[in-house]
């Protein structure tokens, strides 16, 4: 058994002054309102804030690896490096590609998930398929040649085989033929559905929600825009209390004032994501994204296809936290948006919170909101800084 105390803790979505968590066998067994007396099993963090580990539900790759084509050694290396930045769980994201390419990627992801050792690197939570059931009217970087209608046959080819068991989330366009029935079927099979790359009207978004959709992918990007008579996707997302709002907080996909509007309107439903590609954590250059080449220029966080189309980001989730706090968003809301909100949208009550019965995935933030230390299942993650054991 070990105890970790800190000057501040994020508990129940609020920043609490003082307190501690008790960790045993990789789990949080108790949350204390006051730190106990010093002792050999008590790690007293001298400053900063203790939160649950961060969760990224939309990340295409990082550290030079694109997840759809990543090999086993890449998966392990990336998971360990991500954990040093405070990300303790992630949902690797595959963009639109031929079905056989997606299935092959799912098979490799399944091998990587089965090979994970508890406490060694960020947890792989299952794959987020961003496509191929998207609208060619809002393709973004996705290749319209490989977009499909979500027919029973196409669903079967992706999800009903062994590889499909690792699919945790699907982004689709709800206006496509058969989409509402597909949402019902996916939801019934435990797969979360997000609305994205879509020209859906407000009424079509409402129908998707009624069928079981729970999220909107990268709000304001690659979707019918907000109107004062036709709310489009952003309007319905902001108004519909059951939808979680995915936000790429690099302040380029969505400007700072609009990020402020989103948090003011729906702060406790915002799920901050990176939409990162293989360039994240790497120098400027050309990288792969789902079989395409994308370029990141010096001093730019945006990745772009060679024709200039925005193709994700080089954002890290801890930088997203600092971006949002830096524009005046309440730190408690920001920290919640990378911990409990993503955990809740995935139905993972065992993650993303400092609470009894949750996994002891933890981040210690310094006063400037840089991750100073990370633990996964109570195990300290090696980093460039000195390791603190518990």
Give me the tens of pLDDT residue by residue for the chain, a chain 390 residues long: 999 999 999 999 999 999 999 999 999 999 999 988 888 999 999 999 999 999 999 999 999 999 999 998 999 999 999 999 999 999 999 999 999 999 999 999 999 999 998 778 999 999 999 999 999 999 999 999 999 999 999 999 888 888 889 999 999 999 999 999 999 999 999 999 999 999 999 999 999 999 999 999 999 999 999 999 999 999 999 999 999 999 999 999 999 999 999 999 999 999 999 999 999 999 999 999 988 899 999 989 999 999 999 999 999 999 999 999 999 999 999 999 999 999 999 999 999 999 999 999 999 999 999 999 999 999 999 753 433 434
Place of tokens 């002792």: 39
Q: How far apart are CA 62 and CA 79, in angstroms?
A: 10
What's 230's DSSP letter?
S
CA 282 to mean position of chain CA atoms: 19
Residues noted as catalytic: 275
Backbone angles phi, psi at 92, to 5 degrees: -60, 140
Q: How far apart are CA 97 and CA 136, in angstroms?
A: 13
Angle between helices 232-239 and 256-266 (to 10 degrees): 40
Grouping H, G, I as helix, E, B as strand and the rest as coil, residue 387 is: coil
Q: How far apart are CA 149 and CA 81, in angstroms?
A: 37
Alpha helices in the chain (DSSP H): 72-83, 99-115, 152-159, 179-188, 202-211, 232-239, 256-266, 317-326, 331-337, 340-345
Q: How far apart are CA 96 and CA 130, in angstroms?
A: 6
**pTM (2 decimals)?**
0.96
Domains and CATH numbers, the chain: 2-50+355-380 (2.30.40.10), 54-345 (3.20.20.140)
């Amino acid at each position: 058994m070990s105890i970790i105390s800190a000057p501040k803790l994020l508990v129940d979505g609020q920043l609490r002054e003082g307190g501690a968590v008790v960790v045993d066998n990789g789990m949080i067994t108790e949350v204390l309102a006051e730190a106990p007396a010093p002792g050999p099993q008590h790690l007293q963090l001298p400053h900063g804030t203790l939160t649950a580990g961060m969760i990224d539900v939309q990340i295409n790759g990082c550290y030079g690896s694109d997840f759809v084509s990543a090999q086993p050694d890449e998966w392990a290396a990336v998971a360990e490096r991500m954990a040093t930045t405070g990300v303790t769980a992630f949902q690797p994201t595959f963009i639109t590609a031929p079905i056989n390419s997606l299935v092959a990627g799912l098979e490799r992801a399944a091998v990587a998930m089965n090979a994970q050792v508890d406490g060694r690197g960020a947890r792989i939570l299952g794959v987020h398929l961003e496509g191929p059931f998207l609208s060619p009217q809002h393709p973004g970087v996705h290749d319209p040649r490989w977009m499909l209608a979500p027919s029973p046959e196409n669903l079967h080819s992706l999800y009903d085989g062994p590889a499909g068991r690792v699919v945790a989330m699907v982004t689709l366009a709800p206006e496509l033929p058969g989409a509402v029935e597909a949402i019902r079927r996916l939801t019934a099979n435990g797969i979360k559905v997000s609305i994205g790359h879509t020209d859906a009207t407000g009424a079509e978004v409402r129908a998707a929600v009624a069928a079981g959709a729970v999220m909107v992918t990268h709000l304001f990007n690659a979707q019918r825009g907000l109107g004062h008579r036709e709310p489009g996707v952003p309007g319905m997302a902001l108004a519909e209390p059951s939808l979680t709002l995915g936000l790429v907080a690099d302040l380029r996909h969505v400007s700072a004032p609009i990020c402020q509007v989103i948090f003011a309107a729906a702060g406790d439903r915002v799920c901050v994501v990176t939409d990162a590609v293989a360039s994240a954590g790497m120098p400027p250059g050309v990288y792969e994204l789902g079989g395409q080449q994308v370029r990141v220029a010096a001093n730019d966080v945006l990745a772009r296809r060679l024709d200039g189309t925005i193709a994700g980001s080089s954002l890290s989730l801890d930088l997203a936290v600092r971006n949002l706090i830096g524009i005046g968003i309440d730190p408690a809301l920001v920290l919640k948006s990378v911990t409990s909100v993503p955990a809740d949208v995935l139905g993972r009550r065992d993650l993303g919170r400092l609470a009894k019965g949750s996994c002891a995935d933890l981040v210690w933030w310094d006063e400037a909101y840089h991750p100073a230390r990370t633990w996964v299942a109570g195990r300290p993650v090696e980093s460039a800084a000195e390791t603190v054991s518990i």
